[in-house]
């Protein structure tokens, strides 16, 4: 296995001069050198061939002992110096100070086919940023990260990738619901891959300490290596950078809303500077369409990170990034201009995204009302988001409201909910929808294909991940492999996987791991 090693981050940014691995405040440094803890008996559960190929690892390499040892943290690849990032952040709306990679260790950067990647082990042991925690990760959260990161990629959602999922062979103690019931679980290690793991919180770190020398160094580094197309110098350059982060973040959120993904912990330390989804913790997928839903029990009181609030929170987080970059720009006006445009821009793009989901090519003013009335209706009684949008593409131009309803009726969780008034409102809406698709030039089959390309048939429903975790805990990885294969083609019909195109079963409605998750991982 031959990797093309790059050490841009560590050669150009300041290292923590202290190399003792104890929890502490780290000043004037972008990272600390730290070695992964040797796992006692590592074994490979699953690897993503596509991610491997992207970074220059062949299918044969995946079978080598070298692969197992390097990506479990057992051995260190030659000429690399693993490091943990120092960053800060706002958690649940409050300033939290220094956070940092508490259970993540960056192995190295690599270059393959002119692209730069950072390889990072998650769950490979304590770092100076572990605070009171142990630096490890458990199998359940590692499966959730590995499967979901890859599923998101195949859905076309910008995301970190996941190269591998390994068991460490060690036991990790966790109190899953923070209710005084700690138990041992299997330890696991995922190797995440992204251009870099620089976050909004990386900039907040230096800004909060008024360390403007390092703030500038980090901004210059990030732009030079990851936004090389940004021209100009000084204020212009930083503004262009902020503008681009705003744009890519907006796009990422639009994708989340399109597929029904709820991140669950949109703290500023979990916001990638690349506008990619990062840190798969207590995330979840909408089953019944509910803008007020969050899977994260830690957030159950205020539901700050609920589905419908994600665009708002992205903007809030961008404000924090703007504050952090302000010392480099020293003029609030242009930053405010960019931030002020976010909501209108989002509304516009959201409308177009929903038009795509509904199969409209022509843009009509009146679509706003049609879409608003649809989202209200979807919330009225429990309606499965994925099944609704997928099946809506079966409606034809010739359908009457009643026959159109037949196409979508599988999406409702309880037939009893469909009383006369609810049915009437659905028929009214479908009648308007029918008129609307008759204004389109596309043939039914063309519209169906177009809709099916943006409305996935298969997503990683919370209960599916949980079933897979239950099996994996017993050493059976067949479901994990099956789901991984299925999620590679989320928009394809895949009749052999039809059984996964189904509503959440009743047993999963209020089960821990399925609809309720905590930050414990």
Q: Which stretches of the chain bind Mg ion, using CB under 5 A?
A: 270, 279
Catalytic member of 101, 170, 269, 399? 269
Q: Distance between CA 314 and CA 308 in Å, rounded?
A: 11
Token digits for 418? 């469909």
Q: Of 67, 129, 305, 360, which one interacts with ligand AMP (CB under 6 A)?
A: 129
Residue placing its CB nearer to ligand AMP in the complex, 172 or 328: 172
103 is in an annotated binding site: yes
144 is in an annotated binding site: no
Q: Distance between CA 401 and CA 78 in Å, rounded?
A: 66
For the chain, count helices (H), then strands (E).
16, 13
Binding mask 284-303 for ligand AMP (x = CB under 6 A): --------------------
Q: Distance between CA 479 and CA 470 in Å, rounded?
A: 10
Nearest residue to Mg ion, using CB?
Answer: 279
Q: Distance between CA 363 and CA 268 in Å, rounded?
A: 35
Question: If DSSP codes are grouped into helix, strand and coil, which group holds residue 43?
Answer: strand
Q: How far is CA 48 from CA 212, 277, 300, 334, 515, in A?
A: 40, 18, 34, 42, 27
Q: Distance between CA 266 and CA 321 in Å, rounded?
A: 13
Residue placing its CB nearer to ligand AMP in the complex, 27 or 373: 27
DSSP 281-319: SS-EE-SB--TT--SBGGGTTT-TT-GGGHHHHHHHHHH
Q: Which does 170 bind (CB under 5 to 8 A by kind): Mg ion, ligand AMP, none?
A: none
List the interface residues with ligand AMP, window 67-106 (CB under 6 A). 99-103
Nearest residue to ligand AMP, using CB?
Answer: 102
Q: Which does 134 bind (CB under 5 to 8 A by kind): ligand AMP, Mg ion, none?
A: ligand AMP
Compute the least distance from the CB of residue 503 to Mg ion, in Å: 31
Eight-state DSSP code of residue 35:
P
Confirm or reject binding of residue 265 to ligand AMP (CB under 6 A). Answer: yes
Residue placing its CB nearer to ligand AMP in the complex, 129 or 241: 129
Residue placing its CB nearer to ligand AMP in the complex, 100 or 456: 100
192 is in an annotated binding site: yes
Q: Distance between CA 299 and CA 143 in Å, rounded?
A: 22
455 is in an annotated binding site: no
- Yes or no: say if 172 and 185 are a contact pair by the CB < 8 Å rule: yes
Residue placing its CB nearer to ligand AMP in the complex, 197 or 433: 197
Confirm or reject binding of residue 134 to ligand AMP (CB under 6 A). Answer: yes
Q: Which does 103 bind (CB under 5 to 8 A by kind): Mg ion, ligand AMP, none?
A: ligand AMP
- Yes or no: say if 13 and 217 are a contact pair by the CB < 8 Å rule: yes
279 is in an annotated binding site: yes
Angle at CA 284, nearest 5°, toward 49 and 46?
20
Token digits for 122? 């998650």
Q: Distance between CA 54 and CA 455 in Å, rounded?
A: 27
Token digits for 304? 């700050």
Residue placing its CB nearer to Mg ion in the complex, 276 or 480: 276
Q: Of 63, 65, 133, 368, which one interacts with ligand AMP (CB under 6 A)?
A: 133
Q: Of 39, 135, 490, 513, which one interacts with ligand AMP (CB under 6 A)?
A: 135
Is 470 part of the annotated catalytic residue set? Answer: no
Confirm or reject binding of residue 130 to ligand AMP (CB under 6 A). Answer: yes
Q: Which does 512 bind (CB under 5 to 8 A by kind): ligand AMP, Mg ion, none?
A: none
Applying CB under 6 A, the site for ligand AMP has a residue count of 17
199 is in an annotated binding site: yes
State the first-to-last Cα distance of the chain, in angstroms, to the nearest integer. Answer: 31
Compute the least distance from the CB of residue 281 to ligand AMP, in Å: 5
Residue placing its CB nearer to Mg ion in the complex, 163 or 271: 271
Choose the binding region for ligand AMP from 134-142, 144-152, 356-364, 494-502 (rule: CB under 6 A): 134-142
Q: Distance between CA 348 and CA 439 in Å, rounded?
A: 21
Confirm or reject binding of residue 281 to ligand AMP (CB under 6 A). Answer: yes
Residue burial 193-231, b: 16+ Cβ < 10 Å; e: rest: bbbbbbbbbbbbbbbbbebeebbebbbbbbbebbbeebe
Would you say the C-alpha torsion 268, 274, 275, 278 has a positive or negative sign?
A: negative
Compute the least distance from the CB of residue 277 to ligand AMP, in Å: 13
Applying CB under 6 A, which residues contact ligand AMP? 99-103, 129-130, 133-136, 265, 269-270, 279, 281, 519
Binding site for ATP, residues?
100, 102-103, 122, 134-135, 192, 199, 279
Catalytic positions, written as ranges = 269
């Amino acid at each position: 296995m031959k990797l093309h090693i790059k050490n841009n981050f560590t050669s150009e940014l300041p290292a923590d001069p202290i190399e003792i691995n104890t929890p502490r405040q780290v000043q004037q440094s972008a990272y600390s050198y730290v070695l992964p803890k040797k796992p006692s008996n590592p074994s490979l559960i699953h690897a993503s061939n596509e991610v491997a190929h992207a970074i220059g690892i062949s299918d044969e390499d995946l079978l080598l002992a070298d692969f197992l040892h390097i990506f479990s943290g057992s051995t260190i690849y030659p000429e690399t110096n693993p490091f943990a990032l120092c960053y800060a952040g706002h958690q649940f709306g409050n300033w939290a100070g220094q956070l940092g990679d508490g259970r993540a260790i960056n192995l190295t950067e690599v270059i393959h086919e002119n692209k730069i990647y950072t390889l990072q082990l998650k769950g490979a042991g304590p770092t100076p940023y572990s605070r009171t925690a142990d630096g490890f990760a458990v199998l359940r959260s590692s499966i959730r990260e590995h499967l979901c990161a890859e599923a998101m990629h195949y859905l076309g959602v910008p995301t970190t990738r996941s190269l591998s999922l390994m068991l460490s062979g060690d036991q990790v103690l966790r109190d899953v619901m923070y209710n005084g019931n700690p138990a041992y679980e299997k330890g696991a290690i995922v190797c995440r891959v992204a251009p870099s793991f620089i976050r909004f919180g990386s900039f907040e770190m230096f800004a909060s300490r008024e360390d403007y020398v390092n703030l500038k160094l980090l901004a210059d580094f990030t732009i030079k290596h990851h936004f090389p197309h940004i021209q100009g110098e000084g204020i212009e350059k930083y503004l262009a950078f902020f503008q681009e982060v705003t744009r890519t973040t907006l796009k990422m959120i639009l994708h989340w809303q399109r597929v029904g993904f709820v991140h669950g912990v949109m703290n500023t330390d979990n916001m990638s500077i690349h506008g990619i989804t990062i840190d798969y913790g207590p995330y979840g997928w909408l089953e019944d369409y509910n803008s007020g839903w969050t899977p994260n029990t830690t957030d159950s009181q205020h539901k700050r990170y609920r589905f419908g609030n994600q665009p708002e929170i992205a903007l809030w987080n961008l404000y924090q990034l703007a504050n952090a970059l302000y010392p480099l720009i020293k003029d609030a006006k242009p930053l405010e201009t960019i931030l002020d445009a976010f909501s209108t821009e989002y509304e516009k793009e959201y409308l177009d995204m929903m038009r795509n989901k509904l199969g409209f090519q022509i843009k009509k003013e009146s679509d706003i009302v049609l879409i608003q009335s649809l989202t209200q209706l979807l919330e009225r009684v429990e309606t499965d988001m994925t099944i609704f949008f997928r099946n809506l593409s079966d409606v034809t131009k010739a359908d009457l409201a009643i026959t159109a309803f037949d196409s979508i009726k599988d999406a409702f969780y309880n037939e009893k909910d469909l009383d006369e008034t609810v049915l009437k409102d659905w028929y009214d809406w479908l009648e308007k929808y029918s008129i609307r698709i008759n204004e389109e030039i596309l043939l039914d089959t063309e519209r169906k294909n177009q809709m099916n390309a943006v409305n996935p048939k298969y997503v990683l429903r919370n209960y599916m991940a949980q079933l897979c975790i239950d099996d994996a805990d017993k050493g059976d990885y067949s479901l994990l492999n099956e789901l991984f294969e299925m999620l590679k083609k989320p928009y394809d019909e895949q009749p052999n996987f039809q059984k996964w195109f189904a509503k959440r079963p009743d047993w999963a409605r209020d089960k821990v791991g399925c609809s309720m998750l905590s930050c414990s991982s």
